[in-house]
Structure 1
């Protein structure tokens, strides 16, 4: 038998297979509404990083649905909905289930407390993000879209991770999944629980005092708490968020004052100050605070001295409408916290 028919048949089979590989229904690289290639079915999307990726999506938030869901507008004018990855704020439109929040009692008081924090989380997200340009990033371990076809994203705003800030402020629990940033989020949740911040006050069935998680400031600052032996005596004496005149033109009049009420100097090397949005200042090596002395951390730039340190921010940072600043020692333990 001639081999030519066999060769012809083989060629036909190869062409047919190639046609099947390119047939509709296979993985698509068509552009999504944002102009970027769509992820193939089952794809994990782009890898997540701590900082906003250079190729992250730049969008504008046009509506806040609740604390962990927003609608946004792409640069081409189309809109979409995003669900924040790794976090879960109490429900504002549905019934809250206390069992989902560790230690919150399944009682009328517990549910009422979570309802209160649903409103606070929504107000916080609206206050921080509505009308703002943000950067969206995806996670290698999570699909591009989830329930209701919402994008699953990390939201980066002004250099900080908004998802992380919700957990750190006690306005959200960590949503159990395989997302890449789980370790840091769970650590923030543990600290918020230990400090009794935000919704974790619901474990007593009573909302805590209003702070930076709301759009308005309280009449007076909350009491400073000390939770670290290493920082015994260190308090946040003042948070001055509203600089004189234009905040952007007077950054160093936004400041935080620490006072050492103890009897010995305290080494501040590696300590951090964090605001409600997650922006963090790290004290330089060798920084210390003498007994019965103060040090002022200014938001702007300048030359550090024993009494004045400079965050180095290029824009206003402390929120005039209510701010919470947390001081942690070099091991990450909360030393003091103050709200305005």
Structure 2
């Protein structure tokens, strides 16, 4: 099987972008350690009839002969061009890779947590394991092989998350080494090569009106985002920046998932005009559930991305050890009086300005997401107050009728990747 796959991969890629390392790329699927499939159930054994694209395959059940159009769990490959749709950059290569990994006639075993699990167009969603002639077992995870080679975004299904940590790790490796769809010039020459842009996701409180992605120019040169695209890991949330989307150093755009009028309420706001939110609440390892924000240039190259939640491989957040809870008051008396006399003060004790895009404060009585543009210079403070006065740059008044802090409890500052950066207990 390994020699057959290696030969097939070489042929399939003859007309595509050259791999970064032919020796590595033409290896067979590989085998994740420690049998990670113990938490999913094998339902069918089948024969590959045809690969449709980079994450979909048509198979025939060995027992019943029934044909199924199976969607791989764990990844979302670039869309393959068709006569009706232009597809995505990398879509043709992803399809060719999957065809090479699953030649017609390959025996596969199909697994999932729920046998009835289906995705778009009622396609069965499955972990697909190819038969390994060397071991005599179904132990070659196809989605893992595609993820490792860089031909898929991390795509999670909350009810089918047993394998998500494995796929996330493989994708992070491909991103770090800029393989596959992450190759910097896969889709053409890089425009504005000095562009330095950060992405931060704010999920709001499960309300589409509060869900945003902030794109901030963190470099020293002006960046024109006209024609650039923002997407999530699915295929429904694409947004193309209109003409005039120019970011000077330090400037930002807040892309709202919901409906609204561009440049309102501030000159930084734009809208996707969706009716439903994109970003799910995260799970925890090993059953990770999450998503990402991905910024593509006009050619389709992936220029910046941000995925949540954080894993054990995450780099430290910029606010770790620098953003502190400096003071907190539980308020006076009872009821509304107590609610309106409570406050919490944050301080930036770092050496550089810290923007709180996507950060939130969690307490028993309130989850508060900091608005885009909330930035603290070194030594600066910011206060959330329960009172009903007029807010200003250093204090936001919330006009609380119920306490945000209970008599015993905690307050946390949490990053957009769900990293706890600071905590106060009482």
TM over 0.5: no
Instruction: Please give the TM-score of this superposition, normalised by the length of structure 1.
Output: 0.43
Q: Which has the higher strand share?
A: 2
TM-score normalised to the size of structure 2?
A: 0.36
* More helix by percentage: 1
